[in-house]
Amino acid sequence: MAASIDIKNLSKRFDDLTILDDISFSIKENEFIVFLGPSGCGKSTLLRMIAGLEGISEGEIWMDDNRLDIHPPGQRDIAMVFQNYALYPHMTVEENMSFGLRNIGTSEQVIKQRVEEASLMLEMSHLLKRKPAELSGGQRQRVAIGRAIVREPKAFLFDEPLSNLDAALRSRTRIKLAQIHQRVKSTMIFVTHDQVEAMTLAHRIVVLNNKKIEQIGTPTEIYQRPATKFVAGFVGSPAMNFIPVQTLDDHQGMAEVHMEGVRPFVTTIEMNQLPNKDDHYQLGIRSEDLHIVDDPEQSHTEGNVTFIERLGERTLVYISLFDGRLIIADTSSKKAIEPNDKVYLAFDSSCVHLFDSEEKAYQGGTV
Asked if pLDDT for residue 304 goes beyond 90, the answer is: yes
Do the domains spanning 5-234 and 241-363 agree at the CATH topology level?
A: no
Extents of the domains making up the chain? 5-234, 241-363
Given a contact cutoff of 8 angstroms between Cβ atoms, the answer to whether 29 and 186 are in contact is: no
Average pLDDT over residues 88-108: 91
Closest CA to 153 of 266, 251, 52, 38: 52
Distance of CA 340 to the CA centre of its chain: 35
Asked if pLDDT for residue 252 goes beyond 90, the answer is: yes
Instruction: Note the pLDDT tens digit of each residue in 5-18.
Output: 999 999 999 988 99
pLDDT at 333: 65
Given a contact cutoff of 8 angstroms between Cβ atoms, the answer to whether 292 and 345 are in contact is: yes
Domain 5-234 architecture? 3-Layer(aba) Sandwich (3.40)
Instruction: Confirm or reject CATH 2.40.50.140 for domain 241-363, answering yes or no.
Output: yes
18-25 long-range contacts, CB within 8 A, separation 24+: 18/211, 19/45, 19/211, 20/45, 20/46, 20/211, 21/211, 21/212, 22/58, 22/59, 23/59, 23/212, 23/213, 24/59, 25/206, 25/213, 25/216
Q: Between the CA atoms of 27, 31, 37 and 43, what dihedral angle is there, to the nearest 10 degrees?
A: 60
Instruction: Note the pLDDT tens digit of each residue in 169-191.
Output: 788 888 888 888 888 888 999 99
Judged on CB neighbours under 10 Å (0-12, 13-18, 19+), 332 is exposed
pLDDT cut 70: percent of the chain above it: 99
Report CA torsion sign: 120, 126, 130, 131: negative
pLDDT at 354: 97
Q: Between the CA atoms of 67, 57, 213 and 178, what dihedral angle is there, to the nearest 10 degrees?
A: -50
d(CA 98, CA 114): 9
